[in-house]
């Protein structure tokens, strides 16, 4: 009989990403944090039914909240009805929160989630990034560099 280790479950559960974030923003720093979820949300996330597009993190008082993250309703939820885009509290140590808040305010940066994944113990984590918005010409330059690298890789492959 196969054992049910948390590492196996974490490897099988899908990761939810935010590919537009790397295109739209210049990433200054990344940090891992926990997220407070309710039971049906966890089950829906394990099925990969979530979206990080257009989501961001905001400070309210001394807490950090994830806004506009969409988690589909879990169909077999019973009587619990949760709003799919409700704000969710992010979990960080107090010193880390204070450092992030001061850095974001001082440098005028935004906090954007890059991906939501399951760690080895089966706990949902969010990779959060301090980002600075890219200008249109920066986006074009990044796209040119990527296409040049793809072309060089194609030539090397032959």
Give ∠ CA 84-50-100 in degrees, rounded to 5.
90
How many domains, the chain?
1
Task: Name the nearest CA neighbour of 53 among 101, 102, 16, 88.
Answer: 16
CB 64 within 8 A of CB 58: yes
Condensed to tens digits (0 to 9), the pLDDT of residues 101-158 reads 999 989 999 999 999 998 888 888 999 999 988 888 888 888 899 899 999 999 998 8
Residue 87: CB atoms within 10 Å: 14
* Averaged pLDDT, 44-62: 88
- Give me 10's structure tokens: 């974490």
pLDDT top residue among 148 and 49: 148
Entry pTM: 0.76
Residue 1 forms part of a structural domain = no
pLDDT at residue 16, rounded to an integer: 85
Residue 134 forms part of a structural domain = yes
| CATH, residue 147 | 2.40.280.10
CB 21 within 8 A of CB 118: no
Condensed to tens digits (0 to 9), the pLDDT of residues 1-46 reads 444 555 555 556 678 888 888 888 888 999 999 999 888 888 888 8
Domain membership of residue 10 as a residue range:
6-157
């Amino acid at each position: 009989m196969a054992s049910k280790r948390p590492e196996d479950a974490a490897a099988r559960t899908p990761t939810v990403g935010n590919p537009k974030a790397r295109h739209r923003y210049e990433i200054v720093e990344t940090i891992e944090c926990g997220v407070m979820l309710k039971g049906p949300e966890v089950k829906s996330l394990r099925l990969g039914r979530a979206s990080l597009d257009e989501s961001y993190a905001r400070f309210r008082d001394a807490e950090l909240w994830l806004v506009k993250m969409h988690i589909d309703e879990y169909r077999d939820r019973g009587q619990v009805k949760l709003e799919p885009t409700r704000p969710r509290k992010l979990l960080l140590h107090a010193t880390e929160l204070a450092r992030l808040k001061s850095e974001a305010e001082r440098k005028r940066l935004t906090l954007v989630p890059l991906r939501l994944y399951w760690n080895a113990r089966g706990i949902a984590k969010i990779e959060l990034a301090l980002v600075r918005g890219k200008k249109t010409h920066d986006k074009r330059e990044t796209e040119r560099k990527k296409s040049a690298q793809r072309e060089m890789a194609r030539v090397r492959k032959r």
